[in-house]
Amino acid sequence: MAGHGRDAVAIGVICLVMVQDAKIPEVTRTAGHLKRAMFSRQFLLIAAVMTATMACVTTNSSVALNHLVKLGDTTQGAAFVMG
């Protein structure tokens, strides 16, 4: 276990040395660029996929506990599996 702390410190030092600020050129943006970005195909696709993912995760979390209990698991065991 003691070696893991040293490994974490070493990784932290490497990241500190290697990560640098990005050099982003200054770009003038036209009026309405945020609106165009939010209604682009890519943004709408990502928003739809994230919405579906969150709906599935929420549904799974709300249904799974009762499902496990109906299959014969104890409430404590089902809560442990979900936790």
pLDDT number for residue 3 = 60
pLDDT number for residue 56 = 93
CA distance 81 to 69: 11
Q: How many percent of the chain have pLDDT more than 90? A: 25
- Is 4 inside any structural domain? no
In the chain, how many domains are there? 1
Q: Helix count (H) and strand count (E) of the chain?
A: 4, 0
- Is 22 inside any structural domain? no
- Is 55 inside any structural domain? yes
Could you list the residue range(s) of the whole structural domain that residue 52 is in? 33-83
- The count of C-alpha atoms lying within 13 angstroms of the C-alpha of 15, restricted to the half-sphere facing its C-beta, is 6
pLDDT number for residue 2 = 54
Indicate whether 28 pLDDT > 80: no
pTM of the model: 0.52
- Is 21 inside any structural domain? no
- Is 2 inside any structural domain? no
How far, CA to CA in Å, does 47 sit from each of 37, 41, 43, 56, 59? 12, 10, 6, 14, 18
- Is 15 inside any structural domain? no
The identity of residue 2, as a single letter, is: A
- Is 54 inside any structural domain? yes
Instruction: Write out pLDDT tens, residues 1-24.
Output: 456 678 888 888 888 888 777 777
